[in-house]
C-alpha cells in the first residue's frame, strides 16, 4: 500500500479552516433521530410489532414467559454478546494493514455501539456512525472505515446465505415450501449482483475516479476502495470467523428454546436464526424491527412450531437481540468516558476541503 493511500486511510489530509462547511458535515445522532425517515420508520416498526402481538393474547404470552429457565437465558445472552468479541477480532485482522493500534475489545465496543444505533435508525445508518467512531477514536478515515464495515457486512450476508441454503436442503430436501423458493429467487440474485458490483468497482476503480473532478471526492472514493480490499490469505480466517459468529447467534436462539423446554433440531435453529438475521437487513425499519418478529412466526411454522409456543420464543429472542442491545447501548453512551470511548463530534474533517 502506497504512502499516499495510507495517509488517506489515516485521515491525515491537510484541511482548510472553513468552520461553516465543517459544521454542515458533522455527523449528528440527534439530527438522524429526528429526521422524517426515522420517525416514519418507527411508525412502521410499531405497526408491524402491533400486528405481531395481535396474533396472540398478552395473557398467554405472560403465562408462557413465567415458565422459562433463567440459566439458559443467561447462556443465550452470553452467546449473543460474546459474538462481539469475535466480530472485533475479525475487524482488527481486516484493517491491520493500516497499522491499527487498537485492541480487539476496542473494536468490539465500537461495533456494539453502532449496532445499537442500528436498532434505532433504519437502513443500517448506524454503520455511518461506526465509521465516525473509528475516526474520532483511532483517526482512521471515515470512508476507509465505512468500506471495511461494508466488507464484513458483505461477508456476513454471503455466509448467512450459504448457511440458509444448506439448512433448507438438509431440512426439506425436495419438498421446499413455495414461500421459501420464492424468497430465494429474489435474495440469491441480489447476492450475486452485489458481489459482481463490488468486483467491478475494485477492478475498475481508476475509471470510476476519472468520473469525478473534485480531488476530495476522488480521495474519499479511493479510501473507501482501500477499506473494501483485503488480503486474499485472510479468506480462510474470514470464512471461519464469520461462520463462528453466526453459530454463536444461532446458539442464542437454541438456548432460548432450551429455556422454554422446546425441542428443536440444530438444523432448524440454524435455519431460523440465519433467516431472521437476513430480515434485520430490511431497510424500512430499525434493524428489521417488526419484520423480524412477523417473519419468525412463519419460519417457526415451517419447522412445526405453532403460535402458542412461537410467540414467547420470539419475544425472548428479540428481548436479547434487539431490546437489550438498545438498552445497553444507551448505558454505554452514558458511561462512555469510563469505557474509554469517544462518541461525539470531531473537529477536523477527513480529506481536503474544496477551494472557494
Q: What is the pLDDT of residues 284-320, one digit of tens each?
A: 888 888 899 999 999 999 999 988 889 889 999 999 9
Q: What is the mean pLDDT of the chain?
A: 84
CB 220 within 8 Å of CB 139: no
Q: For residues 157-163, give the mean pLDDT.
A: 94
Residues with Cβ < 8 Å from 206, sequence gap 6 or more? none
Which stretch of 73-87, 114-128, 163-177, 250-264 has the lowest confidence by average pLDDT? 114-128
Q: For residues 120-124, give the mean pLDDT.
A: 83
Evaluate if residue 119 carries a pLDDT over 80.
yes
Q: For residues 197-210, give the mean pLDDT.
A: 86
Q: At 201, phi and psi to the nearest 5?
A: -60, -45
Evaluate if residue 327 carries a pLDDT over 80.
yes
In the structure, what pLDDT confidence band is assigned to residue 211 with cuts at 50, 70 and 90? confident
Following CA atoms 33, 34, 39, 42 in sequence, which dihedral angle do they give, to the nearest 10 degrees?
20
Distances (CA, A) of 70 to 75, 83, 94, 229, 282: 9, 20, 37, 43, 31
Evaluate if residue 351 carries a pLDDT over 50.
no
> What is the structure's pLDDT at 168?
95
Residues with Cβ < 8 Å from 59, sequence gap 6 or more? none
Q: For residues 249-274, give the mean pLDDT.
A: 95
Q: For residues 74-91, give the mean pLDDT.
A: 97
Cα(127)–Cα(124) distance, rounded to whole angstroms?
Answer: 6
A 10 A CB-CB count for 178 gives 7
> What is the structure's pLDDT at 300?
95
Which stretch of 15-19, 70-74, 134-138 has the lowest confidence by average pLDDT? 15-19
Q: What is the pLDDT of residues 54-78, one digit of tens each?
A: 766 566 667 766 788 999 999 999 9
> What is the structure's pLDDT at 348?
45
> What is the structure's pLDDT at 280?
87
> What is the structure's pLDDT at 10?
60
User: Residue 332, class by beta-carbon neighbours within 10 Å (0-12 exposed, 13-18 middle, 19+ buried)?
Assistant: middle
**Which position has the higher pLDDT, 125 or 271?**
271
Q: For residues 169-176, give the mean pLDDT.
A: 93
Q: For residues 220-226, give the mean pLDDT.
A: 91
> What is the structure's pLDDT at 40?
77
> What is the structure's pLDDT at 231?
82
Amino acid at each position: 500500500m502506497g504512502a499516499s493511500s495510507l495517509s488517506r486511510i489515516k485521515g491525515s489530509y491537510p484541511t482548510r479552516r472553513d468552520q461553516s462547511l465543517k459544521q454542515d458535515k458533522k455527523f449528528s445522532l440527534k439530527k438522524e433521530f429526528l429526521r422524517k425517515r426515522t420517525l416514519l420508520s418507527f411508525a412502521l416498526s410499531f405497526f408491524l410489532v402491533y400486528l405481531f402481538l395481535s396474533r396472540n393474547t398478552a395473557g398467554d404470552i405472560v403465562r408462557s414467559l413465567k415458565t422459562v429457565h433463567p440459566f439458559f437465558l443467561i447462556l443465550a445472552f452470553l452467546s449473543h454478546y460474546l459474538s462481539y468479541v469475535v466480530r472485533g477480532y475479525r475487524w482488527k485482522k481486516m484493517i491491520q494493514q493500516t497499522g491499527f493500534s487498537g485492541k480487539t475489545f476496542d473494536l468490539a465496543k465500537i461495533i456494539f455501539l453502532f449496532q445499537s444505533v442500528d436498532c434505532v435508525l433504519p437502513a443500517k445508518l448506524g454503520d455511518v456512525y461506526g465509521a465516525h467512531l473509528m475516526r474520532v477514536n483511532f483517526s482512521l478515515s471515515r470512508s476507509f472505515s465505512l468500506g471495511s464495515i461494508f466488507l464484513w457486512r458483505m461477508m456476513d450476508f454471503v455466509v448467512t446465505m450459504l448457511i440458509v441454503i444448506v439448512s433448507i436442503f438438509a431440512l426439506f430436501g425436495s419438498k421446499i415450501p413455495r414461500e421459501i423458493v420464492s424468497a430465494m429467487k429474489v435474495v440469491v440474485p441480489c447476492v450475486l449482483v452485489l458481489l459482481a458490483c463490488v468486483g467491478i468497482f475494485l477492478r475498475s476503480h481508476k475509471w470510476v475516479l476519472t468520473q469525478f473532478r473534485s480531488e476530495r471526492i476522488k480521495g474519499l472514493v479511493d479510501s473507501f476502495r482501500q477499506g473494501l480490499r483485503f488480503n486474499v490469505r485472510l479468506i480462510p480466517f474470514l470464512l471461519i470467523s464469520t461462520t463462528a459468529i453466526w453459530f454463536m447467534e444461532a446458539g442464542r436462539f437454541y438456548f432460548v428454546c432450551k429455556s422454554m423446554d422446546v425441542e428443536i433440531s440444530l438444523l432448524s435453529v440454524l435455519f431460523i436464526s440465519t433467516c431472521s438475521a437476513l430480515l434485520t437487513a430490511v431497510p424500512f425499519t430499525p434493524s428489521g424491527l417488526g419484520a423480524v418478529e412477523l417473519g419468525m412466526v412463519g419460519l417457526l411454522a415451517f419447522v412445526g412450531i405453532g403460535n402458542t409456543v412461537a410467540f414467547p420464543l420470539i419475544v425472548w429472542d428479540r428481548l436479547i437481540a434487539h431490546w437489550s442491545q438498545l438498552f445497553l447501548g444507551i448505558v454505554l453512551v452514558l458511561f462512555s468516558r469510563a469505557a474509554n470511548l469517544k462518541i461525539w463530534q470531531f473537529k477536523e474533517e477527513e480529506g481536503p476541503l474544496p477551494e472557494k
